[in-house]
Amino acid sequence: MEQNILKTAELKTTQKRRLLLLLLQKQQRPTTAEELYEKVNPLVAINLSTVYRNLNTLTEKGILSRSISQDGKAYYSLLSQGHGHRLFCTSCNDIISIDSCPLGELQEKLEKETGYRILDHSLEFKGLCPKCLSKMDK
């Protein structure tokens, strides 16, 4: 499975790459290099540079998408999981994925108004998750 992805991208199938892809697949939300490092390391010793290098390679190959969040960190997710955005809690840092994306129309309108050719966008919501909200009531 991960093997096919890597073969198609003409990348060597290493255990660490497979693990990274596996974890990104399991993960139902965009993930940072640090988080992946913490999860891979107990299973197979890996260097943080290796994590970053692989995330970059996979992003260049179009397998992952990278998005810089308002916390200044890069979040990665499998591109096969489709176009999506983030909603995160400013209190506990919980992150969930948003699947819907209503920006197509706006994007067309903007292209007409500005003359730009728009190639990508990023969208992120922040607020308080239900758990943190209920804690605040008490």
Partner DNA sequence: TTACATGCAAATACTTTGCATATAA
Partner DNA sequence: TTATATGCAAAGTATTTGCATGTAA
Residue with tokens 């994590």: 51
Determine which residue in the list 42, 62, 104, 115 makes contact with a second copy, applying CB under 8 A: 115
13 DSSP 8-state letter? -
For a second copy, give the closer residue by CB, 4 or 100.
100
Residues whose CB is less than 8 angstroms from the CB of residue 18 and which lie 6 or more positions away in sequence, other chains included: 2, 3, 6
Quick one: which of 30, 12, 21 has its CA closest to 63? 21
Determine which residue in the list 7, 53, 83, 126 makes contact with a second copy, applying CB under 8 A: 126
For DNA, give the closer residue by CB, 33 or 64.
33
Beta bridge partners of 68: 74
106 contact, one of a second copy, DNA, none, CB 5-8 Å limit per kind: a second copy
> Measured between alpha carbons, how far is residue 99 from residues 10, 14, 84, 124 in Å?
29, 31, 5, 12
Please give the full DSSP string across 43-100, using - where no structure is assigned. TS---HHHHHHHHHHHHHTTSEEEEE-TTS-EEEEEGGG-S-EEEEETTT--EEEE--
Least CB distance from residue 56 to DNA, whole Å? 5
Residues between 32 and 71 that touch DNA (CB under 7 A): 32-34, 45-50, 52-57, 68
Per-residue contact string for residues 82-111; x = within reach of a second copy by CB under 8 A = -----x-xx-----x-x-x-xx--xx-xxx
For DNA, give the closer residue by CB, 113 or 120.
120
- Residues contributing to the site for a second copy (CB under 8 A): 67-72, 74, 87, 89-90, 96, 98, 100, 102-103, 106-107, 109-111, 114-130, 133
